[in-house]
Structures are given as C-alpha cells and as structure tokens.
Amino acid sequence: MPLHRYGILKGKAIDSQPGSIQSNHFQVHIRANGESHRIAINVYSNDTQNRDLQFLVVDPFQHPICDRIKGLNEGFTPVASQPGGMALDFIRGNLFDISQMQILPPSQDGPDNDLNDKIGFYISQAQTRQADVYAFGERWGPEPTKADRYFGFLPGNGIHDIHMNQGNPPGRFAGDNGVWQDGGVLIHFPEENRWVAYFLKFQSQAVHTDDGGGTGGNPGGGPIVTDPDNEPAIVKGVRILAALVNPAPEDVGHEKVLLFNPLADPISLQGWGLLDSQKKKEPLQAQLASGATLTVQLTGRNAQLSNKGGIITLVDEEGLKIHGVSYTKEQARPENEWLVF
C-alpha cells in the first residue's frame, strides 16, 4: 500500500551522523517545537546490484511548493497525496529535470564527491545558520519506551522514506508505490530568502509511472517504455519555452504557452495536451514543424495558470509526460510579461 503517514517535518538541525557500512542512512537530529526527531536519509541501497543512489541538489530552488510550506508550524504536518498542495511528486510536480540526477557513492576519498559530503554540507550550513529544515517522507513513532538509536532521545520519533516513493519494480517495495508522496529535503535560509533542495531515487525506480505510482502503465493507460539506463527517453522533444501567466486586464482566455520543436522532423500534436496544477487539460491538435514555435492560447475552459505559482506539463496522446516547468508566485507577479523557462 502507499505510504500511510506521509507528511512534512519542519524544524532545526542540531546534530548529524554520516551513513556508514553499519547504517545506510545519513542521520539528522531535528528539534521541532521543543521535541526531538530524527530524519534518516538514504545514502545507499539494499539492492546489491545497484548500491549507489541517484541524487540531485538544486541551489537555489524555486518552486511554488516553497510558498506553500513556508508558513508551517514546527513539527510534523500530515499531507494529502494530491496535486496542488504540499505533496512532492518527482514526475508530476515538475520539481526538477530528473535526467540531471547523478549516481553517487555513499563515501569515497576526496572532498564533495559522495552523498555523505553533499548532504552533510547543507545540513552543516543549516545547523550553523539556524535554517529551517523541511523533510518530506513517512513518519514513525512516537515510541514511548524506545530511545532513539543514534541520538538517544526519548521517545523515538522521526521521518524516513526521504526519497522517490514510486516506480518500484515488482517485488519487496512495490507495495510502497504511490503518486504525490515522494520524499525530499528542502532547506530555507531566511536571511537571504534562499531555498536549497535535494532529491534521491534508487536506480531500480522507473521514471514514468501510472496513476497508482507503479510501472504498469501511464496516465493515458498505455504501456510505459523507458531506455535501458532508466532515464527519461526524449523521443518527442517538444519543449515549453515560455508562458504569459498574468495577462492584463484579465487572465481567463488570454493566458498563453509557447512551445518549440527542436527535432529534425515535424511532429503532430494531435491528442496532446497542456496540464495545469490541478491536471486540467487544454487539448492540442496542431502540426509543429522542425525548429518552429507554437503559441497556444488557453481557452479558460480547461487548463488555467494560477498567479499564485503553479506548474505546466506537456503530455502526448497517451498521457506520457514530455516536458514540464514550474513558476513561483513572485515570478507570476508582473502583468503582461512572458515568463521564460
């Protein structure tokens, strides 16, 4: 079954321990509203064939999720696994370009070249500068009679599954699959209003999933095809270049999205669509020549672009994601200005 205690822990980092042979997690002691918690961040997998994880750090991180979580109280907040809220989804949420993730070992000689180094650097910065740490994942505890194994506080309490939680192949972890329930860590440095995010996935996890988070089909119901290295296959490389999110004097019926075809051949957009943050679909049907752009004017009856920040996703006729972008409330503020991605 999908994660049943999914949510966000907000607090301050006060101690940490790197992952090791004895523990395949980087451990962080978090204090939140006077209570202790531990967040356990994987640094390698139990899969003996592919021990190393895929990792990406985004600094600075800009996404509408930042505005949504910034006002949370310290402590654990349960989060509904649905679009448009505070849940993470690596595929549907347009958080980052998943093809930019790199395989990193947990530890190796040299500075800033392994997962312990990468995670430890920002946790150390957060601890020194009293930044707010937001850990997304599944809660465990509180365990009234069991002291924490690493930091000794009582009751034991914390967050794990701080990684992608969908696309698991058939087997031991397939039951954890679900959408809008991915894990991650966001850190906010308030003095400069800067956000940093890092995301992890296992090499065995697929990058295209169905509406249950599994690998049996995509949202359109057809089969999923990924390349041998399990990276997104850019077979229809149309891109979202820009959007007029906040037209004046009114938005409805005047919002626009600019598409570009970088491929050598023309491509038919028949049956394709643009999805907004609520998965409302603006259908497409044009032919897009090689090197050409297309300005799509949204009708206002389907997809709409929120001025409070949002996402725009391009899907093909089978519902497979081709490209996606996001924008913040601040980026959407200027009227009649195109936002370039």
**Residue 176 and residue 304 in one domain:** no
Quote the pLDDT of residue 48.
Answer: 63
Q: Are 240 and 323 in contact (CB under 8 A)?
A: yes
pLDDT tens column, 228-268: 444 444 456 899 999 999 999 999 999 999 999 999 999 99
Q: How far apart are CA 232 and CA 226, in angstroms?
A: 6
Residue 221: pLDDT band with limits 50, 70, 90:
very low
Quote the pLDDT of residue 270.
Answer: 96
Question: Quick one: what percent of the chain has pLDDT higher than 70?
Answer: 93
In the beta sheet, which residues pair with residue 23? none
Backbone angles phi, psi at 118, to 5 degrees: -65, -50
Residue 206 in domain: no
**Residue 265 and residue 194 in one domain:** no
pLDDT tens column, 154-201: 999 999 999 999 999 988 889 999 999 999 999 999 999 999 999 999
Tokens standing for residue 308? 């409070």
**Residue 255 and residue 178 in one domain:** no
Q: Are 288 and 267 in contact (CB under 8 A)?
A: yes
**Residue 140 and residue 247 in one domain:** no
Residue with the bigger pLDDT between 226 and 34: it is: 34
In the beta sheet, which residues pair with residue 288? 267
**Residue 49 and residue 181 in one domain:** yes
**Residue 243 and residue 143 in one domain:** no
Supply the pTM of this predicted model.
0.88
**Residue 112 and residue 187 in one domain:** yes
The yes-or-no verdict on residue 76 having pLDDT over 70 is yes
Residue 220 in domain: no
pLDDT tens column, 97-110: 988 999 999 888 88
Residue 222 in domain: no
Quote the pLDDT of residue 235.
Answer: 52
Q: Which domain holds residue 244?
A: 239-340
**Residue 196 and residue 257 in one domain:** no
Of the residues 201, 230, 262, which one is the last residue of a structural domain? 201
Domain count, the chain: 2
What is the 8-class DSSP label of residue 168?
A: P
Decide the pairing of beta strands 25-32 and 321-328: unpaired
Quote the pLDDT of residue 241.
Answer: 97
- Rounded average pLDDT over 6-21: 95
Residue 220: pLDDT band with limits 50, 70, 90:
very low
The amino acid that residue 252 corresponds to is V
Assign 3-class secondary structure to 134-190: EEEEEEEEEECCCCCCCCCCCCEEEEECCCCCCCCCCCCCHHHCCCCCECEEEEEEC
Residue 1 in domain: no
Q: Are 94 and 313 in contact (CB under 8 A)?
A: yes
What is the 8-class DSSP label of residue 79?
A: -
**Residue 253 and residue 197 in one domain:** no
What is the 8-class DSSP label of residue 248?
A: S
**Residue 21 and residue 107 in one domain:** yes
Residue 234 in domain: no
Averaged confidence pLDDT in the chain: 91
Residue with the bigger pLDDT between 83 and 224: it is: 83
**Residue 16 and residue 151 in one domain:** yes
**Residue 40 and residue 156 in one domain:** yes
Question: Quick one: what percent of the chain has pLDDT higher than 90?
Answer: 80
Q: How far apart are CA 321 and CA 308, in angstroms?
A: 23
Of the residues 186, 201, 216, which one is the last residue of a structural domain? 201
Domain of residue 331, CATH code: 2.60.40.1260
Q: Are 168 and 117 in contact (CB under 8 A)?
A: no
Residue 274 in domain: yes
Helices (H), the chain: 64-69, 115-129, 329-332
Quote the pLDDT of residue 316.
Answer: 92
The amino acid that residue 340 corresponds to is V
Residue 36 in domain: yes
Residue 229 in domain: no
Q: Residue with structure tokens 């075809």? A: 261
Of the residues 201, 225, 258, which one is the last residue of a structural domain? 201
- Rounded average pLDDT over 128-141: 97
